[in-house]
Structure 1
Amino acid sequence: MFEVVIGLEVHTQLNTKTKIFCSCATSFGEAPNTNVCPTCLALPGALPVLNEEAVKKAISFGKAVNAKINKKSVFNRKNYFYPDLPKAYQISQFDIPIVEGGELFISVEGQNKRIGITRAHLEEDAGKNIHESEFSKVDLNRAGTPLLEIVSEPELRSSDEAVAYLKKLHSIIRFLDISDANMQEGSFRCDANVSIRPKGDNKLYTRVEIKNLNSFRFIQKAIDYEVKRQSEAWEDGTYEKEVVQETRLFDTTNLVTRSMRGKEEAAEYRYFPDPDLLPVLLEDEMLQAPIAELPDEKKQRFIKDFGVKESDAEILISSLEMSRFFESLVAKNLSPKLCVTWLNTELMGLLKADLSIENSPVSSAKLGDLIGRIEDGTVSNKAAKEVLAFVFENEGVEIDEAIEKLGLKQVSDDGAIEKIIDEILSKNADKVAEYKSGKDKLFGFFVGQAMKEGKGAFNPAKVNEILKAKLG
């Protein structure tokens, strides 16, 4: 039996308005090679100038994971051929990163586990190569975008643990608002270092790096395939030949990893301090700046302040947008219990295919209006589901307009309800007598008859209130 050893390197693009060493925009989707300048293009005489916002965002992350923030850090040149970085080296941090150490806690199958973080350092992103038939093109818009590379300790023991770690990390980064962490656009991508060893053996064997994974699903499948490949090579005696230190890519069509190139050692990068950049010296006020509320803290606050069940709180903090949606609902002084039910169950039940809470056709303002109409008795819970489904399919329609259109407004007029109840009690004098003699269960019969006569439009609370008074 083998034990799996996984270490992850996550590259997340920081959401600064400009690049890390120049004033070019970092906006996504622009025409190729338009967000560039002499610094991006490595023209002679162009010098880098460090973006202070990128430093602040790196500090926020370090504080969030209980890391040591180095008051002094250094930028280095990492040398090897980059076809998509005109300098042919990358400005990165090596021996003195801005963030050192740290920890992150995950839960897999009810088991909690601490995962150590080795470091998080700042660097510049590369451009993008585009291969078309026999030609290759390069778009340098992305070159120089600030990256935070977060390196875990090799303490993950399964693809499930790796995905749990990445989801937790993704959540922290989003709640800190230091990156949009959009995996489809490459703002949050991962390199997985995978090796195996016999159970009980503490030695680290040959690791293989799987490069540029950008979906949780593919990350899991890539790791599982690589573990299977290495295990089979060990068992059939070809491990030393088949498993070499290399970089592999994941083929998302055939769900296999393929060799890309040999993996370099740190010495081969010929790191040395960048002579164009002074060491970064942090001031105390930068280290003392508060950070945003983190997912675990928000979860505990929801449980304590709003009486939310832990399982529901987990759903509410599943994304920054989800938690903001809930917070905007309870800010209207609505019942937290109703807010949880109508957000977690009813609205989320309608969000399918390519819809999420971020692009929901029903905004928090509309859902808040609907919950308010339930609370004031304008609509019943059952009718509210119809209203929600209607406004979900007809985005421009407001809640009150939908209630009127569907004819679902509850009757709360005492006189109208009382008239029907008097007729029911008169027709069922025998049952009234039985109720008064002790057959309490007949109360449900009278409620049912009243609701039936009212064609479901009567406010149940009013029906109960008037019946209790009449049957005294």
Structure 2
Amino acid sequence: ISQYDEPIAHDGYLDIVLDDGTPCRVEIERAHMEEDTAKLTHLGGAGGRIRGATASLVDANRAGIPLIEIVTKPIEGAGARAPEVARAYVTALRELVKALGVSDVRMDQGSMRVDSNLSLRPIGTTEFGTRTESKNINSLKSVEQAVRFEMQRQAACLVNGVEIVQETRHYQETDGTTAKGRPKETMADYRYFNDPDLPPVLAPAEWVEEIRATLPEMPWIRRARIQEEWGLKDEEMRDLVNAGALELIIATVEAGAGATESRSWWVAYLAQKANEAGTDLEGLAITPAQVARVIALIGEGKLTNKLARQAVDGVLAGEGDIDEVVAARGLEVVRDDGAIEKAVEDALAANPDIVEKYRAGNKKVTGAIVGQVMKTTRGKADPAQVNKIIAEKLG
């Protein structure tokens, strides 16, 4: 069941910004409500895709669940930047829907999917070329890749005199290509007809204004405020947004951590872990509250940065919450002055040349002593405490 001639919303737009700061307006044709259909699970194909599958299972459990389909007007003139525009639009739309609390927009779990329609129009002509539709794209990276591949494929067809067929195509995450699906229907092929049991959806102006008054701060307004509060440059803010880190950093700050420390963890160590796992930051098995707890333990002197990374590794591995991992792995910083003093004395005794250089005026050589003490204590000693004891021992 789908809205046809009276969609819930129409003739809108969404302003987006590309990676280099170029503004772009995407016109929206309509947003209409539908009922979801059954889900097909393909067996034997790569990544659960239909290509190469030997059988398909029909799961009707989600049939009838409401969804919204948002259809843009043709985005003309994007040229070589069309893949970038597509990704930026989906990113902005996803951010907006999440901010409104409409959905968790987890593309990997099917909460939001993208169908990209693309056609090429030779320079100097006015009519659109034959379009194809790449179906069920489920990541921001895949949106960009699918559009780029179809541009290249269609261009090769036009150059070589091969007819482009209007059809649906299946995006292949394994290699970033699209594969032929089925011929694409025209509007008449859908054979729309009215359902006599469905009354019109009426939205009184008063109700619309009541809802408008309860809307949260829009993402772009919030972003501008955050950027000013944190003192970030435009390119720094764009990097955080493009990395999918901004909302996670904000949530970490709201959990009690400092903005600088939160940024450092998400865009450095955790981004590295996400890359190693082949996922995005949101796909990591750690929450902003847990990251804030790590930062708090560092601030309290209970963890060093090295130990904190080990604690985070434990959480990512499913070993429990931060405090549970710290306790189970015995990661908390050693505060026993006697044990640290003994480790310092042993290190100094084993390195008389360093002691001699220090007393000759080279204060930087103590780094080797600190390193040996940290090795002896398995990284659990407080470096500041170690340096203090070394200074005391060396006068």
The one-letter code sitting in structure 1 at the alignment partner of 2:11 is E
Q: Is the 8 A contact 2:168 2:181 kept in 1?
A: yes
Please report how far the alpha carbon of residue 210 of structure 1 lies from its aligned counterpart in structure 2 after TM superposition.
0.9
Distance 2:381 2:58 in 1: 68
Alignment of 1:51-450 (within 5 A): 85=1, 90-94=2-6, 98-108=9-19, 110=20, 112-125=22-35, 127-128=37-38, 139=60, 141-143=62-64, 145-155=66-76, 156-157=78-79, 158-184=82-108, 186-199=110-123, 201=124, 203-210=126-133, 212-216=135-139, 219-220=143-144, 222-237=146-161, 242-243=163-164, 246-250=166-170, 252=172, 255-264=178-187, 276-277=199-200, 279-283=202-206, 285-286=209-210, 288-307=212-231, 313-314=237-238, 316-317=240-241, 323=246, 325-351=248-274, 352-353=276-277, 357-358=281-282, 360-393=284-317, 395-396=319-320, 398-399=322-323, 402=326, 405-406=329-330, 409-411=333-335, 413=337, 417=341, 420=344, 431=357, 434-435=360-361, 442-449=362-369
Larger Rg belongs to: 1
Q: Is the 8 A contact 2:370 2:386 kept in 1?
A: yes
Q: 1:266 to 1:279 in 2, by over 3 A?
A: farther
The one-letter code sitting in structure 2 at the alignment partner of 1:384 is A
Q: 1:274 to 1:222 in 2, by over 3 A?
A: farther
Distance 2:311 2:61 in 1: 49
Paired position in structure 2 for 1:7: none
Q: Is the 8 A contact 2:99 2:219 kept in 1?
A: yes
Distance 2:117 2:27 in 1: 14
Paired position in structure 2 for 1:461: 384
Structure showing the higher helix proportion among its residues:
2
CA deviations 1:204-242 (Å, max 9, x no partner) are: 33332415332345544554454345434443456xxx3
Whose relative contact order is higher, 1 or 2, with alpha carbons under 8 Å and at least 6 apart? 1
Q: Is the 8 A contact 1:418 1:466 kept in 2?
A: no
Q: 1:127 to 1:413 in 2, by over 3 A?
A: same
Gaps of 5+ in 1: 1-84, 436-441
The one-letter code sitting in structure 2 at the alignment partner of 1:150 is V
Please report how far the alpha carbon of residue 382 of structure 1 lies from its aligned counterpart in structure 2 after TM superposition.
2.3
Matched position secondary structure for 2:170: strand
Matched position secondary structure for 1:168: helix
Q: 1:118 to 1:313 in 2, by over 3 A?
A: closer
Please report how far the alpha carbon of residue 107 of structure 1 lies from its aligned counterpart in structure 2 after TM superposition.
1.1
Give the count of matched residue pairs.
370
Q: 1:358 to 1:164 in 2, by over 3 A?
A: closer
Matched position secondary structure for 2:121: strand
Q: Is the 8 A contact 2:107 2:138 kept in 1?
A: yes
Distance 1:429 1:224 in 2: 63
| TM-score using structure 2 length | 0.71
Q: Is the 8 A contact 2:302 2:333 kept in 1?
A: yes
CA deviations 1:145-174 (Å, max 9, x no partner) are: 142423234234333332332233222222
Q: Which is worse superposed, 111-120 or 219-228?
A: 219-228
Please report how far the alpha carbon of residue 182 of structure 1 lies from its aligned counterpart in structure 2 after TM superposition.
3.9
Q: Is the 8 A contact 1:126 1:140 kept in 2?
A: no
Matched position secondary structure for 2:126: coil
Q: Is the 8 A contact 2:119 2:132 kept in 1?
A: no
Gaps of 5+ in 2: 43-53
RMSD value over aligned CA atoms? 4.7
Matched position secondary structure for 1:91: coil
Q: Is the 8 A contact 2:344 2:386 kept in 1?
A: no
CA deviations 1:433-456 (Å, max 9, x no partner) are: 532xxxxxx112235435535635
Distance 1:410 1:401 in 2: 16
Q: Is the 8 A contact 2:314 2:320 kept in 1?
A: no
Distance 1:433 1:309 in 2: 46
Please report how far the alpha carbon of residue 114 of structure 1 lies from its aligned counterpart in structure 2 after TM superposition.
0.6
Distance 2:347 2:108 in 1: 64
Paired position in structure 1 for 2:48: none
Q: Is the 8 A contact 1:102 1:118 kept in 2?
A: yes
